[in-house]
Amino acid sequence: MRSRTHKAHRLVSVQAQIKRAEEWKLADIERRLAAGEAAQRELIAALNENHALYDLFIDTIARRLRALAEEASRTRDAKDAQARRLLACAGRLKTAERLAKAADAEMQGEIEKKDLLDLLESLVVHRGRKPPAS
């Protein structure tokens, strides 16, 4: 019984570690998305300014903006997929926690049952003895 409880708690620990790893991956994707959006804002701000060399760099800036927009789209898709994976991990963690709780309750029931049987056995043994002769 202790083995089952130990395994259930180990499973909870592993699932929690997996969930933390998935959370870190999602945070990394969100950071990349924010960095891409910041780069887009900087390039748009550069387009809005009038520089002497504006005409030389307009095509390059436009290509870069297009590439950033495509990257942002891919990153948003990756973020959505990662969020779904994180949700699935959270579900597995909750299931593992319920299993561990059930294993704990079952083990506690077994301990109580054993204690009750020991108490009953000691009462039967005690009543079976004859009182000392005076």
Q: Tell me which residue range forms the domain holding 47.
A: 2-102
**Within a domain: 125:** no
In a domain, 63, yes or no: yes
pLDDT at 131 over 80: no
Residue 124 located in a structural domain: no
The residue ranking higher by pLDDT, 108 or 47, is: 108
Other beta carbons less than 10 A from residue 35's beta carbon? 14
What would the pLDDT profile of 44-96 be if each residue is shown by its tens digit?
888 787 776 777 778 888 899 999 999 999 999 999 999 999 999 999 999 99
Structural domains of the chain, count: 1
> What span, in angstroms and rounded, lies between the C-alpha atoms of 125 and 118?
10
Strand runs (DSSP E) across 1-49, as ranges?
none
Rounded distance between C-alpha atoms, residue 110 and residue 1, angstroms: 8
Q: Which of 125, 110, 89 is nearest to 16 (CA)?
A: 89
Q: How many CB atoms lie within 10 A of CB 2?
A: 9
Q: Would you tell me the crossing angle of helices 54-128 and 2-48 to the nearest 10 degrees?
A: 170
* Alpha-carbon gap, residue 121 to 133, rounded angstroms: 24
Question: Per the domain annotation, does 75 fall within a domain?
Answer: yes
> Average pLDDT in the 17-44 region?
96
